[in-house]
Amino acid sequence: MIRSKTIVVLESNEALLSEWKKALAGHEGWDLAYMGEDGEEGLRQICLLKPDLVISGASLKGTDIFDVLRTIRREGLRTKTIVTGMPSDTMMGKAIDEGAYRYLVRPFSEEDAIASVENALNGCEDFITRREHLKAVHGRIGNVLIAMHIPPHLKGYTYMCDLLVSAVERRSVINQIVEMYKTLGKRYETKWKNVDRALRHVIEVAWKRGLKDSIKEIFSASACCWEEKPPVKEFVAFVSDNLAFENIA
């Protein structure tokens, strides 16, 4: 008989805790062993249950995610951790460096949440491999956009980074571009049409600064057949395809 994978959820936000309960319920092979708002009790449960996966908010009552990650390391557990929090490169980088499997940026869809859990429970990557993988993806995408002469201070730069990270990790994002605009709009507290406008603006900036030549330099022999500024969907598909070809996905 195959052992069920045990999951612990720690979340100080009651509404989000309820959403996790609803999302995780009924999945065959998953045992939702503990859910709670209290971080200190959560640490005790982690040591007791030795779960396969911990899903935790960045801030908890009585402690924080870094205490959770340090406890998992100190106890020598093979537990993977999905951290949820607001957009923050600093927090994301620190969580990954401390051993988190993934940093899931709020707000996120139920589909993204379930996909992250499935990947964590079924994936064969160890912590070091996953940490280095995520750092490589984020670093490479940032370098590519800068090489395309897209200034990091533009709002569209941040939106494009997030969009490309999602597209590299989950190819179906390209066919759900408007839904991604809406997700980014909620994440950064703006209208989805503002996200669309900002993304089109950064492509326009890159185009005026020689996007076709930049692509040839960045992706070596990759052919760029655009004769005019590409729409966002085509741009994201092309760049994410080439990044995947580099085997960073």
| The CATH number of domain 132-245 is 3.40.50.1000 | no
| Residue 93 host element (H or E) | helix 89-97
Q: Following DSSP, what letter does each residue of 26-74 receive, concatenated?
A: T-TTEEEEEEESBHHHHHHHHHHH--SEEEEESEEBTEEHHHHHHHHHH
Which stretches in the chain have pLDDT values below 70? 1-2, 89, 123-135, 220-225, 245-249
Domain ranges in the chain are: 5-124, 132-245
- pLDDT at res. 61: 85
The reported pTM is 0.58
Q: Specify the pairing of strand 102-105 against strand 80-85.
A: parallel
Angle between helices 177-187 and 192-208 (to 10 degrees): 110
pLDDT given for residue 196 in this prediction: 95
pLDDT of residue 222: 55
Identify the pLDDT of residue 8.
96
The answer to whether domain 5-124 and domain 132-245 are alike in fold is: no
The architecture that CATH gives domain 5-124 is 3-Layer(aba) Sandwich (3.40)
pLDDT at 201: 95
pLDDT given at position 177: 87
